[in-house]
Amino acid sequence: MAALTQLIEPEVNALGFDLVRVKLFGGDDQTLQVMAERRETRQLTIDDCAAISRRLSDMLDEKDPIESAYRLEVSSPGIDRPLTRLGDFADWAGHEARVSVVEAVGGRKQFKSLLAGVEGDTVLLDDPKVGQVVLDFENIQSAKLVLTDALISATMPLSSEGADEIETEG
């Protein structure tokens, strides 16, 4: 994955987007999932996805880093986004997340807690069961925001243009 990410990230950055995650999954029918976002809005439009997809398709066809057949999927991380970079934990402080760790912390490997920011290379959680939890970023296996009313309120859509027409048409 690190080699794929090193190929993909510069291409995504060159278009003015930030790479959120690269993931290859599926057995015989593999999918290469690339999540990206606009720096200023943390969202992606369909046109953005198409531009990234075209650019990556050309580069991946040329370099051919995956031996077997695969499908390329480019998407926005969505509202209940994965948290993959240390900065994500600071940016989304105050929101609830599900976090899984590789090595147990305080006898637990899973937390559903409020994000309390970062200090150096550690992630801080306010856990309802045990209070503050400090996690080494490198120990985090996966993390994802939990869809809550607070998260919905904090997340603005890129545009609501056309919403009135859609509503009246049908």
Tell me the one-letter amino acid at 45. Answer: T
Nearest to 140 by CA among 95, 101, 113, 108: 101
Q: Check residue 74 and report its DSSP letter.
A: E
pLDDT by residue, tens only, the chain of 170 residues? 888 999 999 999 999 999 999 999 988 889 999 999 998 888 889 999 999 999 999 999 999 888 888 999 999 998 889 999 999 999 999 999 999 999 999 999 999 999 999 999 999 999 988 999 999 999 999 999 999 888 888 876 655 454 444 444 44
Q: Contact at 8 Å (CB) between 132 and 122?
A: no
- Secondary element (H or E) of residue 86: helix 86-91
Q: Which domains does the chain have, with CATH numbers?
A: 2-75 (3.30.300.70), 86-154 (2.30.30.180)
Three-state DSSP state, 104: strand
Nearest to 23 by CA among 2, 54, 48: 2
What does the pLDDT read at residue 1?
80
Using a cut of 0.85, tell me whether the model's pTM lies above it. no
